[in-house]
Amino acid sequence: MALYTGDKWWDDKTVAVVTGSNKGIGFEAARMLAEQGLTTVVTSRNEEQGKQAAAKIQAAAPASRVLYHQLDIADPASVDRFASWLREELGGVTVLVNNAGFAYKGNVFGADEAKVTLGINYAGTRALTEKLLPLLKGPARIVNVSSRAGTRSIVRSQQLLERLTSAASPQQLDEAAEEFVSAIRAGDHAAKGWPSSMYGISKLLLSLWTAQLAEQLRGKHVMVNAMCPGWCRTDMSSGGGTKSAADGADTAVWLALRNPDDFATGGFWGERGGIPW
């Protein structure tokens, strides 16, 4: 399926940032955005790996400007350095694909590990995005790569679910994140209705926050959406999965390049369509 067939609303000055684009779905999303002609910023925790990825993307999209900058979304100093560089070097950003994500392998489960997982997938994504909000320009789009592993149905207590879904501020989501970690530490997370999925809760909080942010920015011409790439063959899935990383990136890039006349915000998407979560 062609990625984009309408009139292009962007040009070679339109800036796209993809987090965690040294490999996997993020690499493919950055490659596709560069191939569509946007100025594309590849970012990664590890500089060496990120620079190699940027060189590959530049080779795949020779006519586009491909830049690299280090970015660890869970490290406030790195987020600050990145935001300053982006402002000074490029003057802002129009497309932000929050792809960076993390999951422990196997049956790892614990309070410290939950803190790390939520710290990257939810809090890190939020911290970077909030830092970049003043730099958004043009018909901006924020695409949060979430997961069907974080649908509402994973919460086992109706009362807890209602509290989570009715949260009106990120602070309430932060409190819920802390409660989850504390409950794991106290050994009563299941009794309190939490699932034994650190990754699932991190992505549920990410999707809930995406909906909050979409409301906060309503009327400001910013599309804010969450999506699930599907089960993709990447390092995260240890090479398992039914889709390639490129197929997983497709809906994220489709949302990122959506025509401004086709405005959609606050949704949860998969395979180029709205999906329940």
Ligand X SMILES: NC(=O)c1ccc[n+]([C@@H]2O[C@H](COP(=O)([O-])OP(=O)(O)OC[C@H]3O[C@@H](n4cnc5c(N)ncnc54)[C@H](OP(=O)(O)O)[C@@H]3O)[C@@H](O)[C@H]2O)c1
Contact footprint for ligand X (CB under 6 A): 19-20, 22-26, 44-46, 71-74, 99-102, 120, 124, 145, 147, 228-229, 231-232, 234-237, 241, 245
Pick between residue 18 and residue 139 the one whose CB is nearest to ligand X: 18
Pick between residue 15 and residue 228 the one whose CB is nearest to ligand X: 228
Least separation, in Å, of the C-beta of 11 and ligand X? 28
Place of tokens 């802390």: 178
Pick between residue 5 and residue 105 the one whose CB is nearest to ligand X: 105
Least separation, in Å, of the C-beta of 128 and ligand X? 8
The CA distances from residue 234 to 1, 148, 241, in Å, are: 22, 16, 8
Least separation, in Å, of the C-beta of 269 and ligand X? 12
Least separation, in Å, of the C-beta of 2 and ligand X? 23
Pick between residue 45 and residue 258 the one whose CB is nearest to ligand X: 45
Place of tokens 């909050």: 212
Please state the three-class secondary structure of the chain as a single string: CCCCCCCCCCCCCCEEEECCCCCHHHHHHHHHHHHCCCEEEEEECCHHHHHHHHHHHHHHCCCCCEEEEECCCCCHHHHHHHHHHHHHHHCCEEEEEECCCCCCCCCCCCHHHHHHHHHHHHHHHHHHHHHHHHHEEEEEEEEEECCHHHCHHHCCCHHHHHHHHCCCCHHHHHHHHHHHHHHHHHCCCCCCCCCCCHHHHHHHHHHHHHHHHHHHCCCCCCEEEEECCCCECCCCCCCCCCECHHHHHHHHHHHHCCCHHHCCCCCEEECCEECCC
Is 199 part of the annotated catalytic residue set?
A: yes
From the candidates 4, 104, 122, 199, give the one annotated as an active-site residue. 199
- 47's CB contacts (< 8 A; 6+ apart) are 68, 70
Pick between residue 21 and residue 138 the one whose CB is nearest to ligand X: 21
Pick between residue 160 and residue 246 the one whose CB is nearest to ligand X: 246
Q: Retrieve residue 98's tokens.
A: 């929050």
Least separation, in Å, of the C-beta of 116 and ligand X? 9
Which residues are identified as catalytic? Answer: 199
